[in-house]
Chain A
């Protein structure tokens, strides 16, 4: 009887419950332990798999730790100069309007050197998606003050803590971009727990879907960690992030024009300017 059972069991096809997404290369991540890049790369790849769109995708990668992301994403990849990923993505999408184009940027890349490109791609309503990794520090260059470094946070170039009188205040990118008419979707997420990872993936997938539906510009901000440059263990860094970053950068949806009842950013923008004849001109 026991023998019979074992034989029957052996005949059952193995069920795959977890595997590498097709949209990731067969390469181990070389990011630091406790860094969120690996998690975010993976959920992006899962979205590409589930939407069956990897073959039509162009990733535009930044200067920063993710400059090596072409080692991991299986789709076509363009490495952009520092901060210019939104400008590069803009042009790629204009040339290839049927394709999925996403930019992957950190806080220094996106909110410091590339702020002009960020704001203008958003306000133009470019049909691109930006994945914004906010870990409040420059990772690759060794931990300098970033535009999102918290007040009093110690970094290599704010050794006494960020003095807001000298260095100014951190930028809340999602809140700021949400005011722009070209923006279809802005969500701030994190990836510290399975629940949050699932929510982050849902947000990214929605952003990709909005892009393919021509709704407008989308940005998903992922509040992340940098254990190496924060000088913490991976676990401590996530605890520090929850304690200090999430109050300053609250999770949530900052803009969703579809949820607001509009088909796209054009419709949403026109609804605001009914009493401005030139802006309201025309049927569309």
Chain B
């Protein structure tokens, strides 16, 4: 077991990617992912790898496309405005079934927005990262350790399903320092018989391509890919349920806002409110199972996000009217405080009957008002 080291989230992502066998990094400068590229520029030459500062985000993602087509484990990192520029390339990667890891250290938007932490790219990452019918697996780590763990497994997952994988973090997680145990270096890249590495007259030529001019053929390709997405939806959703066993108010939050929501949930419990936290670790596939596990006791749900309310729509789709789903958040780089979230939980507790309801429930031994 490796020793604990103190690292920034951005650096942990980079070091862990190296330990997962990533030897090609293409990026373009943008705040607040700066340390990640700087770390790669320092380490890659020592590992015999390639760090290349591309002329643009667009060039960088297309370099990822090329390196992946040539069979390499490859990564790029950026922040919100840069991810928008990468959207076309990510769509091409999805369309050509190319694996690769894309890091988004989110900042405020839209437009140039700001450089403070944000989660306003949730909808983009989970629903529209590029044009066309596609999904990308999205991880949302909430500690520096989890950033290291996600970066380490992302390459395996990308290779397994031949899909781009995004790690969606934010400026707070990227910049903060925490102790982390780094994973052992591995070389787990599978054989890639589809890669364009030169056929050496030993096989028919490989073609990496997203163009299918026949509508039937294109539909067939997409349907085949969506069958793979079904496997991903079955096998890959991940979430952490915290104090949810008997939770009446179920808070749901990911990444940085989950850290805040967790504090609020602990305070609510101390105040006698049955609150719990679902922390999605995968945003796509969305961990519906974690909500289903709470539906029997939940009287209401609260989505806490650093945006104007994006994940809340996905929660509503799963809850499907079985309980009210509310939202609390800040956007533009403003970080919600645990006190604010606690106040919201307390207000929701009052709304569902508060202490009176608890007393009634104790008497009937059931779910008040259910």
Q: Which residues of A contact B (CB under 8 A)?
A: 54-58, 60, 67, 70, 73-81, 84, 87-92, 94-96, 99, 116-117, 119-120
Contacts and interface: CB of A to CB of B under 8 A. Distances in A.
Contact of B89 (A76, A81, A99): A81
Contact of B66 (A54, A67, A92): A92
Contact of A92 (B60, B67, B209): B67
B196 interface: yes
B59 A117 contact: yes
A214 to B, nearest CB: 16
A154 B341 CA distance: 64
B188 interface: no
A99 B206 CA distance: 15
B187 to A, nearest CB: 16
Contacts of A119: 55
A71 to B, nearest CB: 9
Contacts of B52: 90-91, 94
Interface string B205-229: 1111111000000000000000000
Interface in B42-89: 50, 52, 54-56, 58-60, 62-67, 69-72, 74, 88-89
Given A77-B207, A94-B24, A116-B55, A84 B62 contact: yes
A116 B60 CA distance: 12
B198 interface: yes
Contacts of B72: 91, 95
Given A55-B198, A87-B54, A79 B209 contact: yes
B26 interface: yes
B199 A75 contact: yes
A84 B96 CA distance: 15
9 contacts: A54-B201, A77-B208, A78-B69, A84-B58, A87-B63, A91-B66, A91-B70, A95-B70, A116-B59
B2 interface: no
Contacts of B64: 91
B66 A90 contact: yes
A99 to B, nearest CB: 5
A117 B205 contact: no
B67 A91 contact: yes
A99 B198 contact: yes
Interface in B180-205: 196-202, 205
Contacts of B197: 58, 76, 96, 99
Interface string B86-105: 00110010001000000000
Most chain B beta-carbon contacts within 10 A, residue among A67, A70, A78, A96 = A78
Contacts of A57: 198
Contacts of A54: 201
A117 B62 contact: yes
Nearest to A119: B55
Interface of B: 24, 26, 50, 52, 54-56, 58-60, 62-67, 69-72, 74, 88-89, 92, 96, 196-202, 205-211
Contact of A81 (B54, B62, B202): B62
B91 to A, nearest CB: 9
B198 A84 contact: no
A56 B196 CA distance: 10
Contacts, number: 124
Given A58-B197, A81-B89, A95 B207 contact: no
Contacts of B69: 78, 88, 92
Contact of B70 (A58, A70, A80, A81): A58
Nearest to B198: A56
Contacts of A81: 62, 65, 88-89, 92
B67 A76 contact: no
A55 B66 contact: no
A117 B54 CA distance: 9
Nearest to B49: A94
Given A67-B211, A84-B58, A116-B59, A78 B196 contact: yes
Contacts of B71: 95
Nearest to A88: B66
A91 B197 CA distance: 12
Most chain A beta-carbon contacts within 10 A, residue among B70, B72, B197 = B70
Nearest to B200: A55
B205 A76 contact: yes
A77 B67 CA distance: 13
A70 B199 contact: no
B205 A87 contact: no
Nearest to B67: A91
Contacts of A117: 55, 58-59, 62
